[in-house]
């Protein structure tokens, strides 16, 4: 498949988010740089980082040295909510480390511990988007009720909610709550929350001549859920991107959904 022609999901306006992204938590220093460069070489066009990960500089350097055009790569970073009142300077530091004048998606990393910070922080996110410092804004680790508070106060929906997700956490109701609000569900920790030796995954993997890890990733994509596997191992980086040569039948999707018990 042409790497620049991967499946995407529309966010607000013209923005399209690749359903497959590359996770970078705990990939710092040389390992961070090397893994992002390997990921871009393997065909990922979406990189997930955060202020908290301490690797934006390495991510930025890999993007610049990949030879790809900035507009062909979707970059997400995240605001630590304890930076309440310093949102703008935190984003500027991210942009400077990443070596870019805008990110594609900026997320509140988790709900602020002080509920009073919640709406003002969301307004700061929206202001940064309106000034084109980020193309879209969203949240992470938010409940539906917490997102509804933001929507009620500002009439602006988060474009994305990034939460822990995998077949074993599949929650049909929660997925529908995102869809009903036009909020894209982005899953994180797809492998850490999966039992890769599960017999259902093994059977389906064997039927397609792929690995259970690839089945987990494909399941997200077939549900139009964004997935961001992390690896610092070159073979895994490549294998985790090689998920566009097969797709799951409706029956296989149902069998995998059932692993979540909902």
- The residues binding ligand NDP (CB under 6 A) are 23-25, 48, 109, 140-141, 162, 188-192, 213, 228-233, 236, 239-240
> Could you confirm whether 44 is annotated as catalytic?
no
Residue nearest to ligand NDP (CB): 23
Question: Which residue in 177, 187, 202 sits closest to 141, CA to CA?
Answer: 187
């Amino acid at each position: 498949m042409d790497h620049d022609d991967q499946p995407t999901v529309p966010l607000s306006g013209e923005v399209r988010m690749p359903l497959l992204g590359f996770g970078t938590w705990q990939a710092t220093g040389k390992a961070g740089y090397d893994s992002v460069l390997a990921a871009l070489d393997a065909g990922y066009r979406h990189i997930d980082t955060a202020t908290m990960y301490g690797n934006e500089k390495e991510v930025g350097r890999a993007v610049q040295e990949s030879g790809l055009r900035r507009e062909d790569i979707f970059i997400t970073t995240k605001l630590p909510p304890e930076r309440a009142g310093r949102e703008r300077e935190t984003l500027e530091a991210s942009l400077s480390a990443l070596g870019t004048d805008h990110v594609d998606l900026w997320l509140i990393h988790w709900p602020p511990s002080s509920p009073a910070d919640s709406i003002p922080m969301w307004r700061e996110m929206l202001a940064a988007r309106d000034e084109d410092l980020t193309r879209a804004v969203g949240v992470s680790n938010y409940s539906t009720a917490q997102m509804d508070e933001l929507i009620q106060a500002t009439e602006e929906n988060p474009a994305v909610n990034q939460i822990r997700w995998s077949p074993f956490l599949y929650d049909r109701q929660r997925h529908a709550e995102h869809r009903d609000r036009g909020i894209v569900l982005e899953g994180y920790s797809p492998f850490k929350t999966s039992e890769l030796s599960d017999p259902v995954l093994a059977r389906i993997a064997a039927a397609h001549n792929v690995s259970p890890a690839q089945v987990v990733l494909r399941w997200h994509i077939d549900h139009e859920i964004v997935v961001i596997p992390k690896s610092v191992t070159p073979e895994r980086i490549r294998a985790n991107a090689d998920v566009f040569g097969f797709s799951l039948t409706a029956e296989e999707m149902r069998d995998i959904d059932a692993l979540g018990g909902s």
